[in-house]
Amino acid sequence: MEKIYGCNSERPELALREISLADAEFIHALYTGSDFRQGIGDRGITSLQDARDYIEHTIRASYQKHGFGLWLVEHQTVAVGICGLVKRDYLPHPDLGFALLPDYYGQGLARCAAARTLELAREQFQLSTLLAITRPTNQRSQKLLLALDFKPVPAVVDPHTGQTLDTFAWQAEESQ
């Protein structure tokens, strides 16, 4: 995937791009942060090698298998987070995932990246239904999902952790 810019003319400085092994330090910093672990969960990344392995065997493997995955969110060429589509074995549809470094909260960047990801889901990947899952305590993400026209649906249980996750669904609008 080539670099995809902005969600609208107001944010041309925001870009999504595939994550590479060169991004291991950023992935390590993001995934080991306390906000990520509390809001999203522990992905078992504790070292730079763990980050490299996660990039290669999870993120890049998704690009190969599904054509999509999590993308790096850059703001003015600085890595600030991730956003993209994840296909989990226990969900019937791909889900929208996103996370930012705390320094970039409240700037509209997650909303912009998520909105652009929804456009890509509909236009490039022809996906008409997406899900999103959050921990019940992750109110910030839930608020963003509702603003993006996701609707609450019955919760799912993550079979890997046994945790009940609030679940939301999004339907693409019909083309006109």
Indicate if the pLDDT at residue 6 is higher than 80.
Answer: no
**What confidence tens digit (pLDDT) does each residue in 89-127 have?**
999 999 999 999 999 999 999 999 999 999 999 999 999
CA 140 – CA 147 distance, rounded (Å): 11
pLDDT number for residue 10 = 58
pLDDT number for residue 156 = 96
Look up the pTM and report it.
0.91
Residue 79 banded pLDDT, cuts 50, 70, 90? very high
Average pLDDT on 51-77 reads: 96
CA 134 – CA 168 distance, rounded (Å): 9
Average pLDDT on 135-159 reads: 96
3-class SS of residue 125: coil
pLDDT number for residue 176 = 33
Full DSSP string of 11-58: -TTEEEEE--GGGHHHHHHHHHSHHHHHHT---S--SHHHHHHHIIII
pLDDT number for residue 9 = 53
CA 37 – CA 31 distance, rounded (Å): 7
Mean pLDDT, all residues of the chain: 92
pLDDT number for residue 69 = 97
Q: State the CB neighbour count (10 A cutoff) for residue 18.
A: 18
